[in-house]
Structure 1
């Protein structure tokens, strides 16, 4: 470690991440060049995302450091904040329409969408939203081909806190706020509850499979609380699907 490196913690699968001045340095991955191009395209469309800064002398992936507090530390977000989150996700998706996926095959995404047709973040969750002078989604390492529905399903479920133990009526109101902010049409609203159930179950399946095969870091995450969390979330989202349908119906 060089003297001006500050190790950053909190990520689950990004490898060693450090801050140097106003930059973040991460391991360079096979798809990093495509992701940097994607971020450049979003910025050119007016979307506020971390500025991609290429590779450093050590071959690391370099991005702008965005100062602020993670939304994860401020949950539950209020109604107006959730509307804003929904608008941010819609802005990202709309801008992504102009980005041509370089190679739809071979991305090896952990939780792939059916018939991917849009470049997406794939982890738009409170742990990746920095709030300060700017509101910016960070940690784009997992970006890749997906769909609006699959990307929104995870984001809406996580920001609405559709987790075991949450009062259903309050969770449904949060879900409605995110989706209203996104200005989802009737088709997307109708498809979202089932998609959220599939997405939470897919996350649980990934963790259970990793636990059985030793696939890291997911195998350790399974036994360190993530398995229990996603088992409860999958059951909760499926059990109350009618509440989500009612909340999203216009």
Structure 2
């Protein structure tokens, strides 16, 4: 078996066309989502093959190139950005019918439900969780953070990571002008309305703060991975990004709604 990178504190393995990942308490809900996506014809996500006797979930392998920050090569191109936004829109549209047919708020998810419940948020639709074919995003994986919520809640984190509005030197890409234009392109490709664009920065700030709060909660509960994140100061980068977004909120909002 081939060990894959990017696991959340535990090893992930590929065996031929299957992926074995340690299951969590939220995994049954995630597999309900994945089975629904397959039924409605959304083919860009992993397929569920249930669980093995060792406590692993079994998923299909999503083919394509993968990457991480800093954004370099195909993942940094406008085509990749636009195709990512279009894929997120298609995913949201596909997951919305699960919200309509199942009581998703009673299922156990890793992250809390966010009202209004419109879709099942991916929760971490970032460049490191998609598969590329050249400059096109063709797949999305790692649904551990999926949870019921609003479209804008999920879009906010996606725009934050794809612009990206990041201040740490390891993650930064371009200047504010470039980041704003990338954010606008994402919104355009998703077909996001003006009203939601105007509140996007505020939602981004709230979403990042929710992540920081979650990190602290998990660390306080003894989660070793999050303890290491806090000790390494990862949360400080998020707090810096929040300050950056607040400082430039009006300028970003004006750019997002220009010519819309």
TM-score normalised over the length of structure 2:
0.84
2:39 aligned partner? 44
Q: 1:154–1:196: 8 Å Cα contact kept in structure 2?
A: yes
Is residue 2:180 matched to residue 1:184? no
| CA distance 1:108–1:84, change in 2 (3 Å) | closer
Deviation at 1:208, TM superposition (A): 4.2
* 1:129-144 map, 5 Å: 129-132=130-133, 135-144=138-147
Mapped to 1, the partners of 2:242 and 2:86 lie a distance apart of 26
2:206 aligned partner? 198
Range 81-90 or range 107-116, more displaced = 107-116
1:86 aligned partner? 85
Task: Describe the SS at the equivalent of 2:68.
Answer: helix
Mapped to 1, the partners of 2:123 and 2:221 lie a distance apart of 24
Range 239-248 or range 216-225, more displaced = 216-225
Q: 1:168–1:243: 8 Å Cα contact kept in structure 2?
A: no
Which residue, 170, 175, 179 being the options, matches 1:167?
A: 175
Which residue, 224, 229, 237 being the options, matches 2:237?
A: 229
| CA distance 1:67–1:73, change in 2 (3 Å) | farther
Deviation at 1:56, TM superposition (A): 2.5
Mapped to 2, the partners of 1:20 and 1:207 lie a distance apart of 31
Mapped to 2, the partners of 1:213 and 1:32 lie a distance apart of 20
CA shift digits 1:119-174 (9 cap, x unpaired):
12111111101113771111112212121011110011101110116511010011
Q: 1:113–1:146: 8 Å Cα contact kept in structure 2?
A: yes
Mapped to 2, the partners of 1:66 and 1:74 lie a distance apart of 22
Which residue, 4, 29, 32 being the options, matches 1:34?
A: 29
TM-score normalised over the length of structure 1:
0.87
Q: RMSD of the alignment, in Å?
A: 2.3
Mapped to 2, the partners of 1:67 and 1:109 lie a distance apart of 25
Deviation at 1:105, TM superposition (A): 3.6
Mapped to 1, the partners of 2:252 and 2:108 lie a distance apart of 32
May I ask how many residue pairs the two structures share in their alignment?
A: 245
Q: 2:105–2:148: 8 Å Cα contact kept in structure 1?
A: yes
Runs of 5+ consecutive residues of structure 1 not aligned to the other structure: none
Deviation at 1:24, TM superposition (A): 0.7
Which residue, 152, 155, 160 being the options, matches 2:158?
A: 155
Deviation at 1:108, TM superposition (A): 5.5
Deviation at 1:222, TM superposition (A): 1.9
